[in-house]
Structure formats: C-alpha cells, structure tokens
A = this chain, B = another copy of it.
Amino acid sequence: MTLVNRRVLLRSRPVGIAQSEDFAIEEAEVPSIDVGEILVLNDYLSVEPAMRGWIADVSTYHAPVPIGSVMRSIAVGHVVQSRDAGFREGDVVVGWFGWQHYAAMPASAVIRRVTHTDLPISLSLGVLGLTGLTAYLALTMVGEPKEAETVIVSTAAGSVGSAVGQIAKILGCRTVGIAGGAIKQKLCVDEFGYDAAIDYKEGDLLTKLAAACPQGADVYFDNTAGPISDSVHQNLALRARVVICGTASVPVWNPRPSGLRVERILLVKRVRMQGFIIFDHEAQFSETIDRLASWVREGRLRYREDVLHGIEAAPDAIAGLYRGENLGKRIIKL
C-alpha cells in the first residue's frame, strides 16, 4: 500500500514576515523507513512567532529552513510504524516533524513522549509544550521574580505572555499586562488574572505604565521589542531584569532598526537584560511540564488555543500571527 503525504514546502525566502505565497502545498509518496527511524502521523502542527527567524536568511539560533524543503515545525502525532527500539506503534510523541501529515524521521527528531494523556494532546504544542516551557523557564531563570515584585509582560494575552502572567501570579508577584486592543486587554484581567492591563493601541503608554507601576517594574518579560519596550525601559525599577524572549513588534531586523538607547538606563538602574532561547534548556523540560500540568489540572493555569483546520491553513498562518489575529496558541488540526 502506498501512502500519500501532503506537505508544505518553503518556496521563497521572504524579507520580513513569511506570507502565503512563500509556501507551496504538494503531494508526495510517504517514504519507507529505515532502521532507527519512525513514521509519525501528525495530529496537530504548531505555528510559532519564532518561525520568522527559522525562515530568515540571517544568522539565528537555527540554520535557516532550506528553500524547497518541508517547513520546519514542531508537531504532535502518533507513531504508526517504528524501526527504533525506543518507540512502538500508538506512542504519542512531540517532535520536529514538520508541516506535513506523515513524518518519516530518525527517532532523534522526537523531543519527548506525551505522558499527560488525561489532558488534550494538543496542549503539548502550547501550555504543556514550548509555549509553557518558555514562559516558566525564561521567567524564573532570567527574570528571577521575587514575591511582591511587579512583573510587566508584553503580548500579555498571547500564548507565552498569558502563561507568564499567570505563573508570575502563582509566584506571588503583581502583574501588569500590555496587549493590543480592548478585547485582549479585557482578557488579560478577566481570564489571565493580571492586576492591571494596558491597551498600547490607545496611546500614552508611558503615562499608563507609570500609573500602573508606581514603583517601576522589577521584571519586564519582553515579547515585542520596539516602541512598547522603549516605554517600559523608562519605567524600570532599580536592579530590574529584562527577559528578551521575542521581538514580535519589529518585522524587519536586517538592516537593524533604530530605537531609544538603553545603556544609560541599564547603568543608572543596574538593570540586567538577557536573551532567552528555550532550546538551551532541554534538561529541564520534563520536570517543568509536570509542574505546568498540575497547575492546568488545578485550574490555576488557563490557556487559549486558536485552532486552524487542515493543512491548507498553514501557508497564511505565520502572517496571521503577526497581524495579531489569534487569541491563544495557534495550532493546525489535521
């Protein structure tokens, strides 16, 4: 029996954010697997803001996705065939399976086995996957929040941001969210428990931040960079920590754009600003996911999913993220 695969290929290398026309969907035969390989049938594909960087033709933390190859992506699926001793048919696995239905992969493409199967397996691409891991590990390892401190989060209603806000509350902090538009602002307070939320699209961010953080922010979890960050930097407390986790508000980094200089603020306030990439911390994934899963079960860690249907939705899915059209972690159900 020949299995037909559908997959999304990168067709061209965009300047800035990848658009639908940068991808092509094609059919191909599913290859047979070799010793040490597994065949996975994907249930859900992930869509990440970080994919912008994986595609870009500049030095980043991953080699750029080659033109003509399957779009790099994390996915969750079921093992349907295994020639590796570590896996059996029926295992639920998360890994680098790409934007496609069937993935014939070396067993090393698996990031981990999904063990919390009482919860929806799609969560392993979100709050129990890189999203939740990034929120928890970046906040605690770089942000180092202490009880009663004030934590500001940008893209506060987003998938990473909403988890950061809730985890900071669990750790005893005061939380201030920055989001775009009245709907997301309301979501921050009503659903994700922020103590205050600011709609940056309304303007006057500097004044609103000063009012929301009279003592300044001790931690700034930065998912945006850009003018939002320029305003937050102005409102940092002594010895604040800035977690550089994403740069969602700046579409093009080559050439590097300009913004307000931070050096004098860093010096006078003794601020620490540090970049974070989740893939440096795989040793802590398993223990962290157990902790996040408990909080999800207890109802202390809420999440939203933005589910697109069918692989046809993939080519426009990244551009849509940067248009800000999703509420919650964007995934594609196959």
Q: Give the residue name and chain of the B residue nearest to A230 (CB).
A: B256
What's the Cα separation between A25 and B267 when bound, in Å?
A: 31
Q: Give the residue name and chain of the B residue nearest to A238 (CB).
A: B61
B277–A264 CB distance below 8 A? no
Q: Which of A10-18, A192-200, A239-247 contacts B (4 or more CB under 8 A)?
A: A239-247
Residues of chain B within 8 A (CB-CB) of A261 are 225-226, 250, 253, 256-259
What are the 6 tightest A-B residue pairs by CB atom distance, in nearest-first order? Answer: A225-B263, A266-B275, A267-B275, A272-B274, A259-B261, A256-B260
Given contacts A247-B264, A258-B260, A264-B256, contact A274 B275 (CB under 8 A): no
A274–B273 CB distance below 8 A? yes
Given contacts A225-B261, A225-B264, contact A280 B273 (CB under 8 A): no
A258 in complex: contacting residue of B61, B250, B259, B276, CB < 8 Å: B259
Residues of chain B within 8 A (CB-CB) of A244 are 263, 266-267
Residues of chain B within 8 A (CB-CB) of A266 are 244, 273-275
What's the Cα separation between A245 and B61 when bound, in Å?
A: 28
A263 in complex: contacting residue of B59, B222, B277, CB < 8 Å: B222
**Residue interface mask A110-150, B partner, CB < 8 A = 1:** 00000000000000000000000000000000000000000
Given contacts A256-B261, A263-B222, contact A268 B229 (CB under 8 A): no
Residues of chain B within 8 A (CB-CB) of A222 are 263
Number of A residues, CB within 8 Å of B: 37
**Interface membership of A60, Cβ < 8 A:** yes
**Interface membership of A269, Cβ < 8 A:** yes
Given contacts A260-B258, A261-B257, contact A268 B225 (CB under 8 A): no
Number of copies: 2
B225–A250 CB distance below 8 A? no
What's the Cα separation between A276 and B262 when bound, in Å?
A: 14
Question: Closest approach, in angstroms, between the C-beta of A86 and any C-beta of chain B?
Answer: 30
A267–B258 CB distance below 8 A? no
Residues of chain B within 8 A (CB-CB) of A250 are 261, 263-264
What's the Cα separation between A298 and B135 when bound, in Å?
A: 50
**Best-surrounded residue of A222, A263, A270, A273 (most CB of chain B within 10 A):** A263
Question: Closest approach, in angstroms, between the C-beta of A284 and any C-beta of chain B?
Answer: 15
B225–A247 CB distance below 8 A? no
A268–B275 CB distance below 8 A? yes
Q: Give the residue name and chain of the B residue nearest to A270 (CB).
A: B275
Q: Give the residue name and chain of the B residue nearest to A272 (CB).
A: B274
B264–A270 CB distance below 8 A? no
Q: Which A residues, 274 to 290, have Cβ-Cβ distances below 8 Å to chain B? A: 274-277, 280
B273–A272 CB distance below 8 A? yes
A271–B268 CB distance below 8 A? no
**Best-surrounded residue of A61, A258, A260, A268 (most CB of chain B within 10 A):** A268
**Interface membership of A177, Cβ < 8 A:** no
**Interface membership of A53, Cβ < 8 A:** yes
B274–A245 CB distance below 8 A? no
Residues of chain B within 8 A (CB-CB) of A275 are 263, 265-272
What's the Cα separation between A247 and B261 when bound, in Å?
A: 11
